[in-house]
Structures are given as structure tokens and as C-alpha cells.
Amino acid sequence: GQNIDQPTEMTATEGAIVQINCTYQTSGFNGLFWYQQHAGEAPTFLSYNVLDGLEEKGRFSSFLSRSKGYSYLLLKELQMKDSASYLCASSQLASGGSYIPTFGRGTSLIVHP
Amino acid sequence: EAGVVQSPRYKIIEKKQPVAFWCNPISGHNTLYWYRQNLGQGPELLIRYENEEAVDDSQLPKDRFSAERLKGVDSTLKIQPAELGDSAVYLCASSPGEGWEQYFGPGTRLTVT
């Protein structure tokens, strides 16, 4: 997706911590979503950040800096099942006055033993 | 509670043939989205509905794609005629309203030969 930048691929070891970064265009920005998508499956919602700061949800945390147009997803105590694509999506104001979700191309995370 | 339902799950057609996809959103969700996802890419928004009204359809190739959401519940997406480049996964998602997290259906994998 245009204006969303995230790494294409990352690898990490089981039990470790990994941080997936995402930058987005700040113009008309409303909020930032993270989704997880396993191969051949539909995306599933992980988190939504509107305000600056860190939001923790179990092993997953998401951070947002509105002024920098930056977010990251932090995955702790990695498990093999965390191998998936992680999609960053921004909600931004469109010309028609509504908020449109724009997805990045996703970061493929490979967790190895 | 049932999730977003899509059918068919897979479809193989020859180029120039028509094809239609069906989506039943989560009950009570006013907002419905159709996305196209190519391999290794994030979902690309084609059209968004608020109840029965189509909004944000700027990415929908209107010469061959059409969509409808009669009565503000189920929706269909049609391609006529299909081209080789239309091969992709077509995802339907719904949300309680604009800007909320989206719940995705399993998608329809279209192969145009």
C-alpha cells in the first residue's frame, strides 16, 4: 500500500523478542492497526493505536508516535506459531470526508527453533 | 457468533468469463469492505459500504468490476469480463462502523486462466 513502509521479512528465534516497525504518512491520520495473517488465511486484528504510547496485550504490544508517523509491533516470548505476515494499516482521512484503511505489504516473520 | 462468510472459497475461470463473489458480514456490522490481495502484498481496498451506500470506491476498476449491497447486509462483487491480472484473493471484511477494527472473511481465491 502506498505511504506505508514496513520491512519485507524478518527472522527471529523461538523465545526471543522481535520488533516490527512501520512508518506512515501523517496527513489526515486517524489511527494505526496491526493485523496478523497466516499463510493462506485471512488477516486477524491484533491492535489499534490512536494515542501516542505503548499498549500491551499479552505477548504483543504496539507503540505509536503520531508526530513521527511511526509505529511498531513488539512480540515477546516468540513461539513457532507466531510465524506469519504482520500487516500495518493506517486509517486516514480521504477526500470524501471518511476514513480509509490503507495496508502495508506486510512483514513476513519467520520464527525458527 | 458467526464470522464473515464468503463464497465460493476457490474459483477458476477462463479469461473473458464473468465471476461473482458473495459476502455475508457479521450481524449488526454496518460497514462492509471488499479488498483484493495479491501474493506478497497487503490487502488493497476496492470498495467500502456504509449500510447500503457505496463509498470510497475510487480503487474499483469500474469498467469491469461492480458491487452491490442490497438491503445493507449481504454483498456481491462481480467481474465481467475477467482478465488474467485479476487473479488474486478477494477478501470481504466488516466492522461495526467506520474506523473500527475489521473482521475478515476467509476470502475467495480467484484464478483466471
For A34-88, the pLDDT digits (tens) are 999 999 999 999 999 999 999 999 999 999 999 999 999 999 999 999 999 999 9
pLDDT bracket for residue B42 (50, 70, 90): very high
Q: Which residue from A minimizes the CA distance to B90? A: A42
The alpha carbon dihedral of B96, B102, B104, B109 has a sign of: positive
What residue has cell string 473482521? B103
**B29 exposure class (CB count in 10 Å sphere: 0-12, 13-18, 19+):** middle
Alpha-carbon distances of B58 from A59, B34, B46, B95, rounded to whole Å: 38, 12, 7, 20
Query: A113 vs chain B: nearest CA distance in angstroms?
Result: 24
Query: In sequence order, which ranges of B22-98 are alpha helices (DSSP H)?
Result: none
By a Cβ cutoff of 8 Å, what residues of chain B touch chain A?
Answer: 33, 35, 40-45, 48, 50, 55-56, 58, 91, 98-99, 101-107
Question: Is A44 close to B104, i.e. CB distance below 8 A?
Answer: yes
Output the nine-digit C-alpha cell for B28: 449488526
Q: Do residue A89 and residue B42 have CB atoms under 8 angstroms apart?
A: yes
Quick check: B98 and B82 in contact, CB under 8 A? no
User: Cα(B22)–Cα(B9) distance, rounded to whole angstroms?
Assistant: 10
pLDDT tens for residues B43-87? 999 999 999 999 888 889 999 999 999 888 999 999 999 999 999
Contact B98, B50 (CB under 8 A): yes
